[in-house]
Amino acid sequence: MNSSAEMPYEEAFRQVLAHRTMLKAYVQAIVRDPFLAEDAFSEVTLEIARSWNRFDRSRPFESWARGVARRVALTSIRKQGRQPVTLDDSVLESIGTELDAFGNEIELGLRKEALETCLGILTEANRELVRLRYFENRGYEEIARMLGRSVGALYVALTRIHAALHDCVRRKLRLA
């Protein structure tokens, strides 16, 4: 587990760990379901470890890992009996690069702390919407029935919630 007694794949796990948020986000951009993305990310971790001997260390880990993640994510969509409808590989890779620009796990951790604080600025109703959608993974139709709102209104509300959180996180990171 520590360097002196490492198994060969432990370096792979270490690398995944150091890029886990980027990889999770990248997988989510492909599978388009936060909870399926969690499962697919676990599989990505194993696949990276299994393929570790084939990784050319002279290349950046991030783009190689995204290649592995893309294959695994597409497979997990097919396993669900769905046909992948996703962005082009080149667009996905550009988004991966954008994700890299958010920084390392420490910086991403600060961003997550800011995000948690920013949830406090939302109205009670909007926090409830976040909870139902992202914490409980409930579908829009179900949420619409529960809250007595239209699906369209929920999309608009969530878009605004994301924008509000985005602005709040940026403010907090600037102040930090």
Partner 1 sequence: MNPDVPHGLDDPRERMLLYLDGTLPADEVERLNARLRSDTARRGEFAEMVLQQVQLTELDHAKKGAAPLHERIVQLPIEAGESKMRKPPRRWIVPLAWAASIALLLVLNAWFFGPTTGEPILAKIEANEVSIRRGGDSVPATIGLHLQPGDVLRTGTNDAATLNFGPENTGLLLSASTKLRVASFTHGKRLELHEGKLEASVARQRPFRPMIIATPQAEARVLGTKFTLTTTANSTRLDVSEGNVRLTRTSDGARVDVPKEYSAIAAANVYLAALPKTGGILREYWTNILGDHPGQLAREPAFPDRPNGSEMLNSFEVPSNWGDHFGDRIRGFIHPPLTGAYVFWISADADSTLTLSRTEKPEDRTQIAVADGGPPQDWDRHIAQRSNPLTLEAGRRYYLEVIRKTDTGLDHLAVAWQPPGGQREIIPAEFLSPVETKKGRR
Subset of 9-48 contacting partner 1 (CB under 8 A): 10, 13-14, 16-17, 20-21, 24-25, 28-29, 32-35, 37-39, 42, 45
Closest by alpha carbon to 164, among 140, 129, 137? 129
When binding is defined by CB under 8 A, the residue of 4, 58, 174, 175 that contacts partner 1 is 4
Alpha carbon distances (Å) from 34 to 14, 24, 129: 23, 9, 15
When binding is defined by CB under 8 A, the residue of 78, 79, 98, 104 that contacts partner 1 is 98
Q: Which residues of 66-85 are buried (b: 16+ CB within 10 A; e: fewer)?
A: bebbbebbeebbeeeeeeee
User: According to the binding rule CB under 8 A, does residue 50 interact with partner 1?
Assistant: no
Residues contacting partner 1: total by CB under 8 A: 75
Residues 101-130 that bind partner 1 (CB under 8 A): 101-102, 108, 111-112, 115-116, 119, 123, 125-126, 129-130
CB of 8 to partner 1, least distance (A): 12
When binding is defined by CB under 8 A, the residue of 50, 79, 87, 107 that contacts partner 1 is 87
CB of 37 to partner 1, least distance (A): 7
CB of 60 to partner 1, least distance (A): 17
Asked if residues 161 and 130 have their Cβ atoms less than 8 Å apart, the reply is yes
CB of 54 to partner 1, least distance (A): 20
Measured from the CB atom, the residue of 78 and 116 that comes closer to partner 1 is: 116
The radius of gyration of the chain from alpha carbons, rounded to an integer in Å, stands at: 18
Separation CA 172–CA 28 (nearest Å): 25
Closest by alpha carbon to 65, among 79, 84, 52, 75? 52
Alpha carbon distances (Å) from 20 to 14, 17, 27, 65: 10, 5, 10, 10
Residues 147-176 that bind partner 1 (CB under 8 A): 149-166, 169
